[in-house]
Amino acid sequence: MRKLQIGVIGSTADLKYTKKLEKTAVRIGKLIAKSGNILMYGAEKDYDSLPTIAARAAKKADGLTIGITYGKGKEVYDEQSADVIVCSGLERGGGREFVLVNSCDVVIAISGGSGTLNEIAIAYQLGIPVICLKGFGGWGEKLAGIFLDKRKRLKCLSAATPKEAVKLAINAVQKNYKK
Amino acid sequence: MRKLQIGVIGSTADLKYTKKLEKTAVRIGKLIAKSGNILMYGAEKDYDSLPTIAARAAKKADGLTIGITYGKGKEVYDEQSADVIVCSGLERGGGREFVLVNSCDVVIAISGGSGTLNEIAIAYQLGIPVICLKGFGGWGEKLAGIFLDKRKRLKCLSAATPKEAVKLAINAVQKNYKK
Amino acid sequence: MRKLQIGVIGSTADLKYTKKLEKTAVRIGKLIAKSGNILMYGAEKDYDSLPTIAARAAKKADGLTIGITYGKGKEVYDEQSADVIVCSGLERGGGREFVLVNSCDVVIAISGGSGTLNEIAIAYQLGIPVICLKGFGGWGEKLAGIFLDKRKRLKCLSAATPKEAVKLAINAVQKNYKK
Amino acid sequence: MRKLQIGVIGSTADLKYTKKLEKTAVRIGKLIAKSGNILMYGAEKDYDSLPTIAARAAKKADGLTIGITYGKGKEVYDEQSADVIVCSGLERGGGREFVLVNSCDVVIAISGGSGTLNEIAIAYQLGIPVICLKGFGGWGEKLAGIFLDKRKRLKCLSAATPKEAVKLAINAVQKNYKK
């Protein structure tokens, strides 16, 4: 079977996340790498972020990571986090986010502000499963366990731990594509 | 002063909106046209929608309307709702929505499901004011009066009537660009 | 019948076009406006261009003009050339060009460098007719009367004057959509 | 140093390329893999293509390959050619091509019709070096050794063999980014 493309989405550093959140991101990155799957994330040019932390952890664990960035610049490339940088040519704030989510088989949300909300809404619209980590605040927590609208497409799944999140992510893809 | 580009976002017909919601959309379209500004909306190829209803009403009142659509086809063109169709070349579910919101000076949200949620999140990220109609359910109602995250950029403004919504929209742009 | 969306593409000011070329652009803009159709062009934030000159002429003649721009900024808006600015959210150099051409029923090419070449190639791939002005150099001249590849989709049509260009453009759309 | 992202562009199967061209594509794919760099290509959903042939050869030689595709579908994934599929969400015919080229450090063109012409024009506009194979017809041959316009940005470099093409590509990036 092919490797899954698992997106990690969540807060950027300007949202001031805790050490505990950072550790959670590290754990998720490591688990994705160990599962033999691919980690996809939004590569930022200015801020660190939980997704970038997860990507660095995945790289450290010999995983394959793909950063999707905005605009043109391949200068965002950082060999500690990314194997490949794809430059969407689209602005951040909706455009880059769309190319990222559209390229994922499933996404895992860790906390997160408006960008994460945007990405969860995209995933829902595209029928891509979303795994939300509970207990970490942000949109990732608020949307855990609910449908985003009356169409009741795919419920945002709720995970209590990084381990459960990665496991649910892998299962959700397999179930989603069996349909 | 140049004409403002006012986006109307909200439910598509598969979300089964009420007659009252349809009338609200008609009213908003008419008011935008009468204000001398431009109505921007997402042109759908399959469903009718509150934004399309607003566009038809604006056209009837001699307003200028611009439909932003997904993919290639200019076949979506319908002279009862659109003066111009812009084909974003992007998929619906996040891509087309981004080009639409990115092209607006302000957006007015009427009820709405995941697509509207997506568009509100984009507006917030881009610093584009959002006017939410209260009393009509959907994400437009849920987000009225709140900030989407701790960054506290622009609060989603709350309007009780179409008239107030259009007035707030025009004021918000003037205030936003004075900053 | 609906109004046609006629794109004008061609050199930007850094390619140093002649007064004669400027007059040709003015003439084309005026003729599109007088035909009652819509002029679409790429709105630049730094340079003047033959398409922008055409748009200003169209506006002067009471035509409707739509500028498609790159990135975010509606600050490109200039009431002398544009009625509406659509912000594609895509970078210039291929992205914005794609949204522009994809939104046209037909394009008229006046001289032009690599950006115009790009736009002609897009039009060919999308099956959108291209009218090339002869006698003005650039890619618009080099490609007049030829097919871009062995697929022989639509030959770039050759026009000797602005009048012929606009006439051919209108006829080409009618013929193209009859097929 | 980071791995380079080398794009391979060129004819799709409907342009009916020769066995000799297929062998050239195989050779280029293998050489990119052996150089330790990453092969980027446009993943098609309907046709085989010289870039896909190169990607298959790179995979066989244990290289890393990234397919950029149009629209939504990850169903284009084929484990014989791609390690990762990025879904640009943009239409083919200019949009997907833009995300592909924008993500490359350099591109190698093998023959090619209007799509390849489009991609070479994008590369030129973005300042990304283009290596053209001589002796194989198509736009790759026609543009070898020339500038695309009077701006004289980067001349399309001409290579006589796959070996020379890959060597020139690697050198061009190093030279380009030293500037």
Mean pLDDT of all residues belonging to chain C:
95
Give me the pLDDT at residue B157, please: 97
**Residues of chain B found within 8 Å of residue D90, distances taken between Cβ atoms:** 89-91, 95
Q: Encoding tokens for residue C70?
A: 């790159």
pLDDT, tens digit, for every residue of C93-151?
999 999 999 999 999 999 999 999 999 999 999 999 999 999 999 999 999 999 999 99
Of A64, A72, A103, the CB nearest to D102: A72
pLDDT band at C178 (very low <50, low <70, confident <90, very high): low
Give me the pLDDT at residue D176, please: 72
Whether residue B73 has pLDDT greater than 80: no
Residues of chain A with pLDDT under 50: 179
Contact yes or no for D35/D61 (Cβ under 8 A): no
Chain A residues at the B interface, defined by Cβ less than 8 Å, are 14-16, 90-95, 97-98, 101-102, 113-115, 117-118, 121-122, 124-126, 138-139, 148-151, 153
Span between the terminal Cα atoms of chain D, in Å: 17
Chain D residues at the C interface, defined by Cβ less than 8 Å, are 14-16, 90-95, 97-98, 101-102, 113-115, 117-118, 121-122, 124-126, 138-139, 148-151, 153
Q: What is the DSSP letter of A74?
A: G
Count the helix, strand and coil residues of chain B and give each as a percent rounded to the nearest 5. 40, 20, 35
**What value, to the nearest 5°, has the Cα angle with vertex C82 and ends C81 and C83?**
135
Span between the terminal Cα atoms of chain A, in Å: 17
Mean pLDDT throughout B131-151?
A: 96
**Residues of chain B found within 8 Å of residue A151, distances taken between Cβ atoms:** 14-15, 113-114
Whether residue C78 has pLDDT greater than 60: yes
Q: How far is D115 from chain C (nearest CA, A)?
A: 7
pLDDT, tens digit, for every residue of A37-72?
999 999 998 889 999 999 999 999 999 999 999 999
Chain A residues at the C interface, defined by Cβ less than 8 Å, are 71-72, 89-91, 93-95
Q: Rounded to a whole number, what is the largest CA-CA distance in chain B?
A: 43
Say how far apart CA B170 and CA D138 lie, in whole Å: 54
pTM reported for the whole predicted model: 0.97
Give me the pLDDT at residue B79, please: 83
**Residues of chain B found within 8 Å of residue C105, distances taken between Cβ atoms:** 74
Say how far apart CA C4 and CA D134 lie, in whole Å: 42
Sign, CA dihedral B5-B6-B7-B13, equals: negative
Whether residue C177 has pLDDT greater than 70: no
Question: Cβ of D93 and C126 within 8 Å?
Answer: yes
Give me the pLDDT at residue B178, please: 54
Give me the pLDDT at residue D70, please: 95
Question: Cβ of D94 and B89 within 8 Å?
Answer: yes
- Which residues on adjacent β-strands are paired with residue D165? none
H-helix segments, B73-161: 95-102, 114-126, 138-142
**Residues of chain A found within 8 Å of residue D64, distances taken between Cβ atoms:** 64, 83-84
C-alpha distance from residue A28 to each of A22, A63, A134 (Å): 10, 12, 14
Residue B177 has φ and ψ, to the nearest 5°, of -90, -5
Mean pLDDT throughout B60-88?
A: 92
SS3 D86: strand
Chain C residues at the A interface, defined by Cβ less than 8 Å, are 71-72, 89-91, 93-95
Q: Encoding tokens for residue A48?
A: 């660190």
- Give chains near C: 3+ CB pairs under 8 A: A, B, D
**Residues of chain B found within 8 Å of residue D94, distances taken between Cβ atoms:** 89
Amino acid (1-letter code) at residue A124: Y
Question: Cβ of D84 and A5 within 8 Å?
Answer: yes
Radius of gyration of the CA atoms of chain B, in A: 14
Question: Cβ of B87 and C99 within 8 Å?
Answer: yes
Q: How many CB atoms lie within 10 A of CB A36?
A: 12
Give me the pLDDT at residue A179, please: 47
Q: How far is B95 from chain A (nearest CA, A)?
A: 6
pLDDT band at B179 (very low <50, low <70, confident <90, very high): very low
C-alpha distance from residue C142 to each of B25, C113, C123, C125, D29 (Å): 50, 11, 16, 18, 33
Give me the pLDDT at residue A110, please: 98
Nearest CA in chain A to C88: A90
Please report, rounded to a whole number, the percentage of residues in chain B having pLDDT higher than 90.
Answer: 89
pLDDT, tens digit, for every residue of B21-44?
999 999 999 999 999 999 999 999
Chain B residues at the A interface, defined by Cβ less than 8 Å, are 14-16, 90-95, 97-98, 101-102, 113-115, 117-118, 121-122, 124-126, 138-139, 148-151, 153
Nearest CA in chain A to D177: A75
Residue A105 vs residue B174, higher pLDDT: A105
Question: Cβ of A102 and D85 within 8 Å?
Answer: no
Question: Cβ of A72 and C89 within 8 Å?
Answer: no
Question: Cβ of D84 and A84 within 8 Å?
Answer: yes
Q: How far is D28 from chain A (nearest CA, A)?
A: 20
Residues of chain D with pLDDT under 70: 1, 177-179
